[in-house]
Chains A and B, each alone.
Chain A
Amino acid sequence: MKMSIRKEVKPSSWTLALLVLSISLSVVAALYPHCSAINPRGLNVGVDFLGYVRVGEIVEGDLSQAFNVSGGSRPLIYLFIYGFQKLLGSDVSTAVMFLPVILNPLMVVGAFFLAFEAFGDWRLSSWAAFFTACGYQVTVGMYSYFLTNMLALSLVFLSLGFLFRSLRVGCNISLALASILGILLVFTHPWTFDQYVVTTILTIIVYFYRIRKESGWYEKISGAIIYVVFLGFADFAKTLLFQGAGAFSASLTAIRGISSLSEFLMNFISSFRLLFGGILSVVVLIGLAVLGVYLSGLGGFSEIYLTVFPVATSLLFLIGNGTIKSRLLYNVPIGLFAAIGMSSLLRWKVKDNFKKCMIFFVVLNLVVYLFRSLANLV
């Protein structure tokens, strides 16, 4: 089951074009719903838009309030909005409106970086960027205005990318950067923090089990342990100093959302049909991701991480209510899994015309999905 992807170590022009297209699309996605022909009455885009504006105005009046509002769970996003507002010289509303111009490409670059550090393959990484830009993390993010979740995903993608690099090449600077970005995640979105840190802990256990008989196993794993310890301390400090919602209270929120297994079917269907206007249901993207999950092996730390991720997520996914299910799915690095699936499909020994048609279809299908969803947000 070990994955053996032929890597594209040097970027081809096609790969670079795909990466540039992905970043460009993510920027366009932030502006598209505001076009006058699509949104002639200038309605607010995104369910949580007004909530961010309201809290942003409180923080604008007193910056220290960033650590108190929303239960102190997400100070970083409010500081981010404040900084962006000062940079634009605008009011809070305008800053919140155009924040996805930064967050969308940040998430795409994060997905690219994570994929590159996990596999060292330009082609696969560019596909990861594309699937993130045209996937539900952008569309659902824009629909619900999950600004905090989007920032958290960007941070965790970058943080894990640096962690994988530090474990691969033993670079302490990368480990420091991974830890700093991870600590920022603690101050951004405790629920995303929980999902990814629990996966990291499980990965460390599995990785330890695999390499325990090898000489120097401690050096191979110590970076990951240090990383988790740093993040744990940061979460503890946050809870202690700012009384902000930490990983533990975030877990409690999730546990409160547990429903009986008999409700599984209803919750499951509603999270796809009704929540977020049904735009979570991207069959092509999820289908490719299924293939990617199937092909994730048990090679190095990064591959084990990707194998363990669905394990850690699925346990709560099974018993969580519809909202929890959808949020767990939203946090899955779907772009990376879909990129693994797509890369493996393109390695099939089939006619070139078949591959070309498949690429055309997948690209067009997802770009149309992106624009169609964005055009119907208001």
Chain B
Amino acid sequence: MKYLGQMDFDKAVVPVLAFQSFLGVLQLLDVFNVTYYPLIHGTSMKRTFSLGFSLTPALIPLTLITFAYLLKRKTYTEILVSASVSVGLYFFKGLDASVAFISLMLVGVALLDSRSFQDYFTYLLALLSGLEGTALIHWILLPFGITSPFAWFAVLERSLFYVAANLAPLIVLPLMFMWILKLPISIEIVEEESVEDVD
């Protein structure tokens, strides 16, 4: 029974990790005032990521659950390192940054320890799908002149999209120049086939 209880806790903690990392990233984007350039009414605007409130009250209990989980797994060194870095960050960027950072660090440690990456990403994708779904309802209702209750989520989704858009140039580079990396492999294939032909 004890073993089953342990299994249940291990399974139950995975959605917590997904939710915690999502909130942690939001809080970090907020704390570090990440800028992005959304298209609003035909014009590219400069915006700073801001939630308008702190997620620390939500992050603390989630972090405590992860903390308890890691204590059970006896990953003391990792906890200590995460806590030390987080305390250091507190003096430079304040409580919100510190809490967001430690929660993300602990999520990373918990994932590396439990190896439940697949379940974690399943929950994370489900969470993000939920956000996209609420935003979609907003955009579908918009042409009918209906003010949706999900406008805030649509704005959050837009912010996250354009924050991620900052990475687009980095992703396009492999799209265009992947062939340079593939070239030796392709030549190898052609040479192998040529050898076969000779044989």
User: Residues of A with Cβ closer than 8 Å to B?
Assistant: 1-2, 32, 35-38, 143, 209-210, 213, 268-269, 272-274, 277-283, 286-287, 289-290, 293-294, 298, 307, 310-311, 313-314, 317-318, 329, 332, 337, 350-351, 353-354, 357-358, 360-361, 364-365, 367-369, 371-373, 375-378
Question: CB < 8 Å: which of A37, A351, A371 contacts B136?
Answer: A371
Q: How far is the CA of A24 from the CA of B176 in the complex (A)?
A: 31
Q: How far is the CA of A27 from the CA of B98 in the complex (A)?
A: 48
Minimum Cβ distance to chain B for residue A332 (Å): 8
Beta-carbon contact of A372 and B158 below 8 Å = yes
Classify chain B's interface size: 35 or more
Q: How far is the CA of A273 from the CA of B37 in the complex (A)?
A: 7
Q: How far is the CA of A237 from the CA of B189 in the complex (A)?
A: 41
A-B contact pairs, 24 of them (CB 8 A): A2-B189, A35-B143, A37-B145, A268-B169, A272-B165, A272-B168, A273-B44, A277-B39, A281-B169, A283-B165, A286-B172, A290-B174, A293-B174, A314-B179, A317-B176, A329-B172, A351-B118, A354-B121, A360-B125, A360-B129, A364-B136, A365-B128, A376-B38, A376-B42
Residues of the A chain whose Cβ atoms lie less than 8 Å from the Cβ of B175 = 286, 289-290, 293, 310, 332, 337
Chain A: which residue is nearest B46 at the CB level? A273
Residues of the A chain whose Cβ atoms lie less than 8 Å from the Cβ of B140 = 371
Count of chain A to chain B residue pairs whose CB atoms are closer than 8 Å in the complex: 156
Question: CB < 8 Å: which of B44, B162, B171 contacts A286?
Answer: B171
Residues of the B chain whose Cβ atoms lie less than 8 Å from the Cβ of A210 = 190, 193
B142 at the interface (CB under 8 A from A): yes
Q: How far is the CA of A169 from the CA of B162 in the complex (A)?
A: 45
Which of B41, B43, B161 has its CB near the most chain A CB atoms (within 10 A)? B161
Contact indicator per residue, chain B 158-199, by CB within 8 Å of chain A (1) or not (0): 100110111111011011111100100110011001100100
Beta-carbon contact of A361 and B128 below 8 Å = yes
Beta-carbon contact of A278 and B197 below 8 Å = no
Beta-carbon contact of A314 and B176 below 8 Å = yes
Beta-carbon contact of B139 and A372 below 8 Å = yes
Residues of the B chain whose Cβ atoms lie less than 8 Å from the Cβ of A354 = 118, 121-122, 125
CB proximity to A under 8 Å, residues B121-137: 121-122, 125-126, 128-129, 132-133, 135-136
Q: How far is the CA of A177 from the CA of B38 in the complex (A)?
A: 42
Beta-carbon contact of A269 and B136 below 8 Å = no
Q: How far is the CA of A369 from the CA of B136 in the complex (A)?
A: 9
Contact indicator per residue, chain B 42-53, by CB within 8 Å of chain A (1) or not (0): 111000000000
Q: With A351-B118, A372-B158 in contact, do A377 and B133 touch (Cβ < 8 Å)?
A: no
Q: With A287-B171, A317-B176 in contact, do A274 and B44 touch (Cβ < 8 Å)?
A: yes
Residues of the B chain whose Cβ atoms lie less than 8 Å from the Cβ of A350 = 118
Residues of the B chain whose Cβ atoms lie less than 8 Å from the Cβ of A294 = 174, 178, 182
Q: With A279-B39, A314-B179, A350-B118 in contact, do A364 and B139 touch (Cβ < 8 Å)?
A: no
B91 at the interface (CB under 8 A from A): no
Minimum Cβ distance to chain B for residue A343 (Å): 17
Q: How far is the CA of A329 from the CA of B169 in the complex (A)?
A: 11
Minimum Cβ distance to chain A for residue B61 (Å): 25
Which of A269, A277, A313, A350 has its CB near the most chain B CB atoms (within 10 A)? A277
Q: With A272-B165, A354-B118 in contact, do A290 and B177 touch (Cβ < 8 Å)?
A: no
Beta-carbon contact of A283 and B125 below 8 Å = no
